[in-house]
Amino acid sequence: MEKGVLDMEVRPMKIQFNAADEALDKKEAGKGKQNRVNKDALTTVLYPVLFGVLILVLWQTQLLHRILGTDTFTLPLPGRIINIILANVPEILKNVQATVIVAVGGLVLGSVLGYLLGIVAMAFPKWGYGGISIASAFTAVPIVAIAPILNNLTKDFSDDPHVRSMIAKTLVVMITCTVSMAINAYRGFTELKPFSLDLMKSYAASKMTVFLKLRVPNSLPYVFTALRISVPASIISALVSEYFAEYIIGVGRQIRESIVLAQYATAWAYILVACVIGIMMYAILLVTEGVVLKGRRR
């Protein structure tokens, strides 16, 4: 049972892992050439996995409890947590769906808005960067402060409490995702390769052509840099905004409800689910980045 979940967490890396494993076998057999990349890949995957397994073993054998000075009630054993997940699959999936819709919806909206803001800032460089710096103050506003405010602001959006709390939560995620994208998109548009702009000028390229042929392609890696910040942030803000939502649904909300009702094992089950969502979304981002930016970096 425990193995199942562990597999789920490392699945995105597993392919790499197997390849690296094979490479090692070959090397040991004295046949193939050393493959530097695969060896690096092996160690980068192996060490974290080993560390995870070590923690898991300490946890299940309760040594971890002794180190942290806690008990099996506050930190339930992994076996029990997995049991709860397996016994409540439909219920958990329903909550996961609500959380993922909010996180992805807010991420997309926030990123698109941020990219457009980046374009605006690039078009008017005199005040553009300063404007973005001011906008970045938004990220300093804690989610716990925005979430209840947006909850109240969206009260009239819909008669259905489920719909309006979804809107409120998505807006919170959107706000947290906008700024990092705006800053990075602006940098992507302006930090061009030396002389590339001069080259375009020598071709007498119009501003539009410069934008489409030079600036947009140049901004792509920066977009992914922004997404690397935004994706985890979107999950976190989705989870936190659920705390304040009117309608009781979502992984974050279940963590809260379980803790209020002193059901710590159930809370931990949802915490694990939240971790899996985060890891999966990040892995999807990394794979997408690898495909889109193939041959562009390094």
At closest approach, how far in Å is the CB of 255 from another protein?
11
Residue 223: other Cβ atoms inside 10 A: 22
Buried b (16+ CB within 10 A) or exposed e, 194-207: eeeeeebeeeebee
- Rank residues 94 and 296 by Cβ distance to another protein and give the closer one: 94
- Rank residues 219 and 266 by Cβ distance to another protein and give the closer one: 266
> One symbol per residue from 157 to 196: x for binding another protein (CB under 8 A), - otherwise; what is it?
xxxxxxx-xxx--xx--x----------------------
Site for another protein in 2-61 (CB under 8 A): none
Task: Identify which range of 27-35, 222-230, 262-270, 282-290 contacts another protein by CB under 8 A.
Answer: 262-270
Q: Phi first, then psi: what are they for 182, rounded to 5°?
A: -60, -45
Exposed (0-12), middle (13-18) or buried (19+): which is 23, by Cβ within 10 Å? Answer: buried
CB 244 within 8 A of CB 164: no
At closest approach, how far in Å is the CB of 210 from another protein?
18
At closest approach, how far in Å is the CB of 97 from another protein?
5
**Radius of gyration from C-alpha coordinates of the chain:** 23
Q: Does 123 bind another protein (CB under 8 A)?
A: yes
Task: Identify which range of 22-30, 73-81, 215-223, 288-296 contacts another protein by CB under 8 A.
Answer: 73-81
Q: Does 83 bind another protein (CB under 8 A)?
A: yes
Q: Phi first, then psi: what are they for 87, rounded to 5°?
A: -80, -10
Q: Does 149 bind another protein (CB under 8 A)?
A: no
At closest approach, how far in Å is the CB of 5 from another protein?
16
- Rank residues 169 and 289 by Cβ distance to another protein and give the closer one: 169
CB 246 within 8 A of CB 185: no
Q: Does 74 bind another protein (CB under 8 A)?
A: yes
How far, in Å, CA of 100 to CA of 284, rounded?
A: 13
How far, in Å, CA of 111 to CA of 45, rounded?
A: 30
Q: Does 113 bind another protein (CB under 8 A)?
A: yes
Residue 281: other Cβ atoms inside 10 A: 18
Q: Does 259 bind another protein (CB under 8 A)?
A: yes
Number of residues that bind another protein (CB under 8 A): 55
Buried b (16+ CB within 10 A) or exposed e, 130-150: ebbeebeeebeeebeebbeeb
Residues that bind another protein (CB under 8 A): 72-74, 76, 80, 83-84, 87-88, 91, 94, 97-98, 101-102, 105, 109, 112-113, 116-117, 120, 123-124, 126-127, 157-163, 165-167, 170-171, 174, 246-249, 256-266, 269
